[in-house]
Amino acid sequence: MPTCENCPPSPLAGARAPFVYGGPVQAAIRRLKFSGWRDVARALARAVVTMDLPQVDVVTWVPLARRRRAERGYDQARALARAIARELELPARQLTRRVTNTSPQARRSVDERHAAMQGVFASRGRVPQRVLVVDDVLTTGATLAACAQALADGGAELVFAAVAARSVRRLPRSVALQGSARRAYPRSGPRPGLWLPGDPPR
């Protein structure tokens, strides 16, 4: 994940992602985000829970901006968080809300993204001590850091993040040419597979 030179320390204790954002995983997440394939959330959740996650009290998510939620009809991070919570047998609750809207982040530097996200979220209701916050993709970590700050301000002592995939600047050549995230996994640790609705068993 790119580093932010001028950012304040984040209360985010760590983050886990079972996949690199590329190939079939990228296609799956786009189906979840833009086509409403909720079965994809369940498949991704099963991969997420195979990772080494800390003990938490509740699962929450990075809330989508109201305009984007209206355009898509639902919040993909909420769908993923609820699926993860079911796998972990934990409650899923919305613990943050957006208090300001942000413009697109794509062309901003890492420092600019973190600066733009400061103060975007506020806590909502009673925040438990140990929280798992969920999003679909981790790029610079600016959004998750801002959400974690709101949770810490609301009383959380541990905030840990789980995402479906991590975006990297350069994928291995095999991923770019073959559309496979197989060689993008770390050499050690779990390597969960991903099956989409309608795929034959493998």
Domain residues of the chain, as ranges? 12-169
Provide the whole-model pTM: 0.77
Residue 88 and residue 98: Cα distance in Å, rounded?
26
Range from 65-69, 91-95, 191-195 carrying the lowest mean pLDDT? 191-195
Tens digit of pLDDT for each residue in 146-182?
A: 999 999 999 999 999 999 999 986 545 444 433 333 3
Residue type, 188: S
Q: Which residues pair with 163 in a beta bridge?
A: 135
* Torsion from C-alpha of 177, 179, 184, 187, nearest 10 degrees: -100
Residue 98 half-sphere exposure, CB side, CA atoms within 13 Å? Answer: 16
Quote the CA–CA distance of 91 and 89 in Å, as a whole number: 7
Domain 12-169 has CATH 3.40.50: yes
Reported confidence tier of residue 36, pLDDT bands at 50, 70, 90: confident
